[in-house]
Structure 1
Amino acid sequence: MSKTQHDEYIEGTGCVAAIRRQLVRWSKLSNAGSVLADGYLRVLNRLPRTPLPGRHRAFLLRPKGLSGSILLRPNTTDIHAFADVFYAAEYGGILDFCRPPPRKILDLGGNIGTSVRYWQHLFPDAQIVAVEPDAKNFSQLQKNILLGPAPANVKVICAFAATADGTAGIDRSQGEYGFRMTTEPGCESIATISMLKLIDLLAGQDGQVDFLKCDIEGAEADIFANSQAWIYRIATAVVETHPPYSPEGLLADVMRAGGIVEHELTLPKMEGRAVVYLRFRHP
């Protein structure tokens, strides 16, 4: 996927552009039922106070080529998580970076499992560990893994990935798609969640990870600023950066920690975010 293709998806205004984007989205679904479910989910999300049928049930969408459907909840940001992976092809360039195909994958910020299902589609023999802190998202993650191929190849952990063990608050004010770790005592929608050191998560993968995906809503800044103990264990990574952390800051932290970047690609997103692909070279 090129930068131009990605920008074309996330940019563009006006009715015609919106219709064109929606038609492109629907062309990536496998059947009419999925198209109808996508459309109705968007109606429910746009009219949250309207008493429409199906308000409290989940819907199944199946992208073309995927083995099994994915379960999405209305009145949540699930459709956006689905769209990033299967419509915008946010991780569409990963095949160019993962050579040979990864056997061990660590997914930080598993959310409802859209990325995990994509990894299963691309790398059916991989062993995957997915980490998601929010209990409701975690439950949805488990359901979606069971709907996919080889669920026994996926281990799920309900926790934050962090630089130290302990507990932290979870800020739910930005919706299911943007839950983040916080230490602000006055923040709304806070619950206490366990934290697991990234080095311990890597130990569960026998110390080495072929592919690391990291989308943890700002906590990546602390993770990569303190990556000296583990960066050399990663072969390939895809990291979403969230302001004020930037791709430049990420690269500086990685190199400061001793990581040698063989190839890098940055794809800008909205609101200052970016998806950064990294392939490492190890001496």
Structure 2
Amino acid sequence: MDSRESILRQSKFKRVLQYIEKFGFFTAMRLVLSLKMGKGQATFKYGKNTLYIRKGTSDVQAFEQIFLLDDYDINVKNVSPRLIVDAGANVGYASLYFANRYPEATIVAVEPESQNYQLLCKNTAGYPNIKAVKSAVWNEDTHLRVVDQGLGSWGFTVESCGPNDPGAFKATSIGTLLNDTGKSSIDILKMDIEGAEKEVFTTNYQHWLPNVSVMIVELHDRIKAGTSEVFYKAIEGQNFSIQEKGENLILSKVR
């Protein structure tokens, strides 16, 4: 069972206990009550500033994945991250997590959906080392548009379109993102892009993939059949060790 399903299926009582254990009684109860009462946004003090959570949306589950279940609490061996790419940044929770854990790192947070992007900018406003980019990663620099498949704010997908089509925006390859930073390698590449990993790992990955030290990837075969097959074929011979954590694969370059 992946972490999203475990969050949804566990009892409310158990979840409250997890909040208390993680955040302390008073902070946990304030946050739990705030999330349950009314509409609008709940707030949570994290790091330098206030983090915003849209009530009644998948923001709550995304928050729990990252800050309650510690999905990105990974052991990065032999790497002092200087460049982190958060592909599919949603509203910025993972970027904030990385910014507080690796304060010396530059974080490029890529998110295509407009409302998510606005909240991403709001959540990360106190972090000059987080660069928010309104785009999506693909296997080439092209034009895409956002598609709402009814999966919530963390489940928007993208599809190819013409540059003048309604909703079109400029997408970018990971190679272009890397070149734009002026750096030669990506220390951590987090990828939660709702099926677009199939395109990313089909073509044009050969020149940037060898320059990635750690990848955190969620594969979405439930959205695009054959995604895992394409991914595992792409990483053949790349000398990654692989482990699972929650719904993610954690790949670390063996040196």
- 1:253 and 1:73 map into 2 onto residues whose CA distance is 37
Contact 2:99 2:130 in 1 (8 A): no
* Residue 14 (structure 2) pairs with residue 20 (structure 1): yes
The equivalences for 1:1-283 within 5 A come to: 10=6, 17-29=11-23, 32=26, 35-41=29-35, 43=36, 52=38, 55=39, 57-62=40-45, 66-92=47-73, 94=74, 96-147=75-126, 151-172=127-148, 173-183=150-160, 191-205=167-181, 206-226=183-203, 227-243=205-221, 244-245=225-226, 247=228, 249-255=230-236, 258-261=237-240, 263-267=241-245, 274-281=247-254
Q: Distance in 1 between matches of 2:70 and 2:186?
A: 23
CA distance in structure 2 between the aligned counterparts of 1:30 and 1:71, rounded to whole angstroms: 19
Using the alignment, how far apart are the partners of 2:161 and 2:83 within structure 1?
A: 35
Contact 2:144/2:161, CA 8 A, preserved across alignment: no
Cα distance in 2, alignment partners of residues 166 and 218 from structure 1: 17
User: CA shift at 1:126, angstroms?
Assistant: 0.7
Output the amino acid matched with 2:62: A
Q: List per-residue Cα deviations over 1:234-261 (Å, max 9, x = no partner).
A: 1111011111356565232211xx5221
* Overall identity of the aligned pairs, in %: 24
User: 1:264 offset after TM fit, Å?
Assistant: 0.9
Which has the larger helix fraction?
1
User: 1: CA distance between counterparts of 2:15 and 2:25?
Assistant: 18
Partner of 2:176: helix, strand, or coil? Answer: helix
Q: Distance in 1 between matches of 2:215 and 2:70?
A: 16
Work out whether residues 239 and 275 of structure 1, in 8 Å CA contact, stay in contact via their aligned partners in 2. Answer: yes
| Residues in 2 aligned to 1:132 and 1:83: alpha-carbon distance in whole angstroms | 20
Contact 2:161 2:168 in 1 (8 A): no
Of residues 210-219 and 26-35 in structure 1, the stretch that sits farther from structure 2 once superposed is 26-35
Could you tell me how far apart the structure 1 residues matched to 2:54 and 2:131 are? 22
* Residue segments in structure 1 that go unaligned for 5+ positions in a row: 45-51, 269-273
Q: TM-score, normalised by structure 1?
A: 0.77
**Cα distance change on mapping 1:166 and 1:248 into 2, 3 Å:** closer
Q: CA deviation at 1:31?
A: 6.7
Asked whether the 8 Å contact 1:170–1:181 carries over to 2, the reply is yes
Q: Secondary structure at the match of 1:97?
A: coil
Q: Are the structure 2 counterparts of residues 219 and 29 from structure 1 closer, same or farther at C-alpha, using a change threshold of 3 Å?
A: same
Summarize deviations over 1:129-186 as a string: whole Å, max 9, x none.
Answer: 1100011111111111124xxx11111110011112221121123221111112499x
Cα–Cα, structure 1 residues 25 and 252, in superposed 2: closer, same or farther, change >3 Å?
farther
Q: Distance in 1 between matches of 2:99 and 2:65?
A: 17
Query: CA 1:156/1:11 → structure 2, altered by over 3 Å: closer, same or farther?
Result: closer
Residue type of the alignment partner of 1:20: K
Distance between the aligned counterparts of 2:8 and 2:54, measured in 1? 27
* Structure 2 residue runs without a partner (length 5+): none
Q: Give the letter for the 1:21 counterpart.
A: R
CA distance in 2, matches of 1:29, 1:68: 16
Aligned residues: 246
